[in-house]
């Protein structure tokens, strides 16, 4: 598939602290890519470099075919960024926030576009209320709606569900999936394992500035050596019998399913192995 983001040997340090140490990955157009890592792993630094807010010390990165250093203006024309904290004006209404961004981007037929985004993000009823009255979930939805004004090809979401309650987190997941279904490439950073597993087509695990694993959620789970099988017996009586006499007694089995480890198991195991390797 066509890559819309290509990163090769990306490096960044802050004084003696090495934050990114040779990070490389490619992201397919129209996909959801999750950069997974603990706090301080370097996720936000990577996003800031790719969104042209920070210069790398080494390596190369291209977004929409444009170099993030030499062609930063071109990169900015095809991307949008939603940071960890909602960048909305609390004095203005939701409608006014969207209208302001639309004017800055010189969007034609702006009134119609604003109404469309208010509807899409379920903000119609609150459109003319001051944002200071919005809940956390509403502010986050408005923030993303503002980011999507102008229909960017790539949307960076830096830990978009931090601070949201479970209901709003699920709503945000649905929103991200719909964006990707509509053709937007979503680059998501998160420290929530279930979020990455639920949303991403591809996951890269960033640990201490390095990518230690990269693949689909299913393939990442398949690399774990410890696996078993879950058996559902046809009746409760059969389930009580010892498995070793299953064949001898002709006990019917409803189905047998592979018991893969969770993404959390993979993450913790890989990080643990990395620490052991570094210690050695």
User: CATH assignment of 3-216?
Assistant: 3.40.50.300
Q: Across the chain, what does the average pLDDT equal?
A: 85
pLDDT at 208 over 70: yes
Residue 136: predicted pLDDT: 86
More confident residue, 270 or 213: 213
pLDDT more than 70, % of the chain: 81
pLDDT at 256 over 70: no
Each as own residue / partner, the long-range contacts of residues 222-230 (CB below 8 Å, 24 or more positions apart, any chain) are 222/260, 223/266, 224/260, 224/261, 224/265, 224/266, 224/269, 226/261, 227/258, 227/259, 227/260, 227/261, 228/259, 229/256, 229/257, 229/258, 229/259, 230/256, 230/257, 230/258, 230/259
Q: pLDDT confidence of 73, banded at 50, 70, 90?
A: very high
**Predicted pLDDT at 150:** 83
Residue 226 has pLDDT above 90, yes or no: no
Inter-residue contact 217 to 197 (CB < 8 Å): yes
Q: What is the distance between the alpha carbons of residues 151 and 261, in angstroms, rounded to a whole number?
A: 38
Residue 140's pLDDT band (boundaries 50, 70, 90)? confident
Write the pLDDT tens digit of every residue in 34-59: 999 888 889 999 999 999 999 999 99
pLDDT at 55: 97
Measuring CA to CA, how many Å separate 218 from each of 70, 119, 215, 240, 271? 37, 35, 8, 32, 18
Residue 227 pLDDT class (50, 70, 90 cuts): very low
What mean pLDDT comes out for the span 217-236? 66
pLDDT attached to residue 26: 96
Average pLDDT over residues 116-136: 93
Q: Do 203 and 215 meet the contact criterion of CB atoms below 8 Å apart?
A: yes
Q: Hey, which residues does 259 pair with through a beta bridge?
A: 228
Domain residue spans of the chain: 3-216, 228-259
Q: What is the pTM of this model?
A: 0.76
Rounded mean pLDDT, 238-267: 62
Express as a percent the part of the chain with pLDDT over 90: 52
Q: In whole angstroms, how far apart are CA 136 and each of 95, 149, 267?
A: 17, 20, 29
Q: Are 143 and 87 in contact (CB under 8 A)?
A: yes
User: Of all helices (H) and strands (E), which one includes residue 101?
Assistant: helix 94-104
């Amino acid at each position: 598939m066509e890559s819309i983001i290509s990163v090769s040997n990306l490096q960044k340090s802050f004084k003696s602290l090495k934050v990114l140490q040779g990070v490389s990955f490619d992201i397919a157009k129209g996909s959801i890519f999750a950069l997974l890592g603990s706090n301080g792993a370097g996720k936000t630094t990577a996003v800031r470099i790719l969104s042209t807010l920070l210069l790398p010390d080494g390596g190369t990165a291209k977004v929409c075919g444009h170099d993030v250093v030499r062609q930063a203006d071109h990169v900015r024309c095809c991307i949008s960024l939603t940071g960890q904290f909602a960048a909305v004006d609390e004095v203005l209404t939701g409608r006014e926030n969207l209208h302001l961004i639309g004017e800055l981007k010189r969007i034609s037929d702006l009134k119609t576009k604003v109404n469309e985004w208010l509807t899409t993000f379920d903000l119609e009823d609150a459109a003319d209320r001051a944002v200071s009255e919005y809940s956390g979930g509403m502010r986050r939805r408005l923030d993303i709606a503002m980011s999507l004004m102008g229909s960017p090809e790539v949307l960076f979401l830096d830990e978009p569900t931090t601070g949201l309650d479970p209901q709003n987190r699920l709503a945000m997941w649905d929103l991200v999936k719909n964006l990707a279904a509509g053709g937007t490439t979503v680059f998501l950073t998160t420290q929530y394992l279930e979020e990455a597993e639920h949303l991403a087509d591809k996951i890269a695990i960033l640990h201490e500035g390095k990518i230690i694993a990269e693949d689909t959620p299913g393939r990442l789970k398949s690399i774990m050596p410890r696996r078993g099988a879950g058996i559902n017996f046809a009746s409760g009586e059969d389930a009580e019998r010892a498995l070793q006499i299953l064949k001898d007694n002709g006990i019917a089995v409803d189905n047998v399913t592979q018991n893969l480890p969770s993404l959390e198991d993979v993450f913790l195991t890989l990080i643990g192995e990395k620490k052991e390797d570094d210690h050695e």
